[in-house]
Amino acid sequence: MTTIVSVRRGDCVAVGGDGQVSLGNTVMKGSAKKVNVLAKHQVITGFAGSTADAITLRDLFEQQLDKHQGNIVNAVIHLAREWRSDKVLRRLEALMLVANKEKTYLLSGTGDVIEPEHGVIAIGSGGNFAHAAAMALVENTELDAKTIVEKSLHIAADICVFTNHNQVIETLSSVDSAQEL
């Protein structure tokens, strides 16, 4: 169990997650990294669920990005199709959030490819708590995306026993792209 939340605000997207790994009611590790940047394609991934399954899906997603020259829309659609139709992959128990500078998606093994309506989406055991907190902060403050993710994860960790305060937050911004040129 875990909490992953993504917030898109202005020219920035932030994706963050906690570090708790639980096995049943036991905390096995508190510092897992469930949010990663695929630097080659400027994409952030975050996962909730079985770690081995999530890493497999992240690797398959990266292969799809390579195959589709970094086109995140084609990559998520093809991964979702493969995940749902393949006899082995459809047994994988995980959810993924993926984001680049323009788009954010949630992917599931049932074939869901969901783009958030208001630039906020969250998954995992504390996902509903983080989502509600992030929505309130987006609508009622001028905080940047990273700060909203940080505060939302903190609130989720205070409520959800499967979420801790050990956070990893990654950001992408169109301003970063302009500076790289």
Is 2 a catalytic site residue? yes
Q: Alpha carbon 121 to chain centroid distance?
A: 8
CA distances from 158 to 7, 24, 27, 162 (A): 20, 19, 16, 10
Alpha-helical segments (H) within the chain: 51-67, 72-85, 127-140, 145-159, 174-180
Cα 68 to Cα 18: distance, rounded to the nearest angstrom:
30
Residue type (1 letter), 44? I
Catalytic residue, candidates 2, 45, 163, 171: 2
User: Where in the sequence numbering do the catalytic residues fall?
Assistant: 2
